[in-house]
Amino acid sequence: MSMNLESAKIFCNLIELKNFSRTADLHGISQSAVSQQLAQLEMAHKVQLINRKKRPLELTAAGQAFYRACKDILERYDQFNYELTTLTKTSCRVNLASIFSIGMHTLQPYIKKFIKIYPDVNLVVEYLDAKDIYARLLRGSIDMGIVAIPKQERNIHIYPFESESLVLVCSPSHPFTTSREIDIHQLQGEKFIAFSQDVPTRVHIDRILKRYGVSVQVVMEFDNIETIKRAIEIKSGISILPLPSVQMEISSGTLVTIEFSNEHFYRPTGIIIRKDHQLNKAAQYLLELMKNQDDSKP
């Protein structure tokens, strides 16, 4: 018996979300409909796919094999759609995804120069979190991604992008602003606005603090730089952030940055591309533009 793609999507989402109600909401159907879809799949293949006695949901051995097969089918279908769309487009298209902080600041000069050279190319830039960028890159739905602290993966090429200076950021009224430089040890016990623990930049900054034996008092955690900046502005604490992301606030006087006297800290960023993905001429130019940063900056 054949299986439609929608059933495969529902099954995969159910396993990933481990919740019938949330899966139903995601697909705009009832919880009962999700249960019926699961039952139909089990009847069609004459196997039990999940252990209903376990909470949260737990796959049987057959369920694990079925889940892997469904994921493979869906990823191949996404790749087919992407390639088909590329072939049928009358104009060239480049799909780029970046984390917000890099895309809105460091990346912008490169985009402007690219548009001048290729004004007729449809450049699509999306701002996503790092997990989504890696997932979409591996599915083939984007040509390249820009992330902070790029991680090594078997199917991905990494090209260094700009290394962003990390600086101490505080409100203009904070006592630290009387100094042009600061010893990182002075952050000991300070109220600190941090990135969420699953954000790669948080891991990177935590490692720097640990290397110097500094323990800060984390009072708030956010998954994006913009919210962190707002929290600093209302004097909730200090933070360590990439310098390009706070240039606007520095100019307007709502935030102050201070460099560290110990060493130059930075956040490495990278361009990621799937190893088996062939870039068109325009995308290849954009890649070279970003790889040769010193020569390419407008």
Tokens of 16: 């990933």
Residue 293: pLDDT band with limits 50, 70, 90: low
Mean pLDDT to the nearest integer, 267-284: 93
Contact 169, 213 (CB under 8 A): no
Could you give the CA distance from residue 72 to residue 61 in angstroms, rounded to a whole number? 17
State which of 12-26, 101-115, 174-188 shows the largest mean pLDDT. Answer: 174-188
Asked if the model's pLDDT at residue 52 lies above 80, the reply is: no
The Cα 228–Cα 152 span in angstroms is: 28
Beta strands 239-242; 58-59: pairing state: unpaired
Q: Tell me the mean pLDDT in the region 10-23.
A: 88
Say yes or no: domain 89-162+268-296 is CATH 2.60.40.1080. Answer: no
- The residue-averaged pLDDT of 186-215 equals 96
Helix/strand/coil for 249 = helix
The yes-or-no answer to whether 5-81 and 164-267 have a common fold is no
pLDDT tens-place string over residues 72-97: 888 888 888 777 766 555 458 899 99
Q: Which three-class secondary structure state does DSSP give residue 206?
A: helix
pLDDT of residue 17: 86
Mean pLDDT confidence for 90-112: 87
Query: Is it the case that residue 295 has pLDDT exceeding 60?
Result: no
Q: Are strands 266-267 and 164-170 parallel, antiparallel or unpaired?
A: antiparallel
Task: Please give the mean pLDDT across all residues of the chain.
Answer: 89
Q: Strand (E) positions, the chain?
A: 50-51, 58-59, 93-98, 122-127, 144-148, 156-160, 164-170, 181-182, 191-195, 217-222, 239-242, 256-260, 266-267, 269-274
Q: 5-81 architecture in CATH?
A: Orthogonal Bundle (1.10)
Helix, strand, or coil here: 182? strand
Q: Can you name the CATH fold of 164-267? A: D-Maltodextrin-Binding Protein; domain 2 (3.40.190)
Secondary structure (DSSP) of 60-103: -HHHHHHHHHHHHHHHHHHHHHHHHHHHH-SS-EEEEEE-HHII
Higher-confidence position of 89 and 3 = 3
pLDDT digits (tens, 9 = 90+) for 211-236: 999 999 999 999 889 999 999 999 99
> What's the pLDDT score for residue 28?
87
Please answer whether residues 151 and 223 qualify as being in contact, where contact means their C-beta atoms are separated by less than 8 angstroms: no
The mean per-residue pLDDT over the stretch 263-267 comes to 95
pLDDT at 118 over 50: yes
- Kindly tell me if the per-residue pLDDT of 169 is higher than 70: yes
Q: Domain spans of the chain?
A: 5-81, 89-162+268-296, 164-267
* pLDDT over 70 percentage in the chain: 94
Question: What burial class does residue 49 get, using C-beta atoms within 10 Å of its C-beta: 0-12 exposed, 13-18 middle, 19+ buried?
Answer: buried
The residue that leads in pLDDT, 43 or 246, is 246
Residue entry with tokens 């006695």: 53
